[in-house]
């Protein structure tokens, strides 16, 4: 049985992650792959606490909730899907923790280590890179911005995403029209899957 393949779509709020992740699952399904879309934070009790917070939680508490939420997500959804040989597309994964929580002063290496103790490493990470100005323009129509969405903070988060070094990470210029970004993402993913499964993935 083929092993599953884990793809993380990352980037600051307004970078186009959710759109690209949804379109990618549709594209993979059209090619005959068994693909599933998962989003973090999840709907676990810990994920709900994060999403419902009116104000930012203290950094350590915020990180604790993200880790607890991810532990549930890994156990209940991510690992079972991978074990069935599915392609799992994550709309946010633990690289978001590294970028967002280290922007609040927690050591990035510590965040990465804590996450990699409980969560499988992705086979491919795509970071959609946009400026905070572009991102905030794109999300300005939202009725209510979340506690994570302000320009100065997003600038730090973006810098932190670009500092993460891993051979599995590909950074894509997401300032361009969504159709161009989509085409590039589809091509990268298709090539990655071809080489993975041809090597007996």
Could you list the residue range(s) of the whole structural domain that residue 152 is in?
A: 5-198
Partners of 88 in the β-ladder:
6, 36
Residue 151 CA neighbour count, 13 Å, CB half: 7
Q: What CATH number did the domain enclosing 86 receive?
A: 3.40.50.300
pLDDT at 148: 55
144-197: pLDDT as tens digits: 555 456 788 999 999 999 999 889 999 999 999 999 999 999 999 999 999 998
Neighbouring residues of 19: CB distance < 8 A, sequence distance ≥ 6: 178
Mean local confidence (pLDDT), 99-110: 96
How many Cβ atoms are within 10 Å of 99's Cβ, its own excluded? 25
57-75: pLDDT as tens digits: 999 999 999 999 999 999 9
81-99: pLDDT as tens digits: 999 999 999 999 999 999 9
The domain tally of the chain equals 1
Q: Does residue 127 sit in helix, strand or coil? A: strand
More confident residue, 55 or 6: 6
């Amino acid at each position: 049985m083929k092993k599953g393949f884990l793809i993380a779509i990352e980037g600051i709020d307004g970078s186009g992650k959710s759109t690209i992740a949804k379109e990618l699952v549709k594209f993979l399904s059209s090619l005959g792959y068994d693909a599933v879309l998962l989003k973090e934070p999840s709907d676990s009790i810990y994920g709900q606490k994060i999403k419902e917070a009116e104000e930012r939680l203290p950094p350590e508490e915020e990180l604790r909730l993200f880790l607890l939420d991810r532990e549930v997500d890994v156990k209940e959804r991510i690992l079972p899907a991978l074990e069935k040989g599915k392609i799992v597309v994550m709309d946010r994964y633990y690289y978001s923790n590294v970028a967002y929580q280290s922007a609040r002063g927690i050591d990035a290496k510590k965040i990465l280590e804590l996450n990699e103790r409980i969560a499988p490493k992705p086979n491919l990470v795509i970071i959609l890179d946009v400026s905070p100005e572009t991102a905030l323009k794109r999300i300005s129509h939202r009725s209510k911005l979340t506690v994570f969405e302000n320009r100065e903070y997003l600038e730090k988060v973006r810098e932190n995403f670009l500092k993460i070094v891993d051979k599995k990470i590909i950074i894509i210029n997401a300032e361009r029209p969504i159709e161009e970004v989509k085409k590039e993402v589809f091509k990268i993913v298709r090539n990655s899957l071809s080489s993975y499964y041809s090597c007996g993935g």
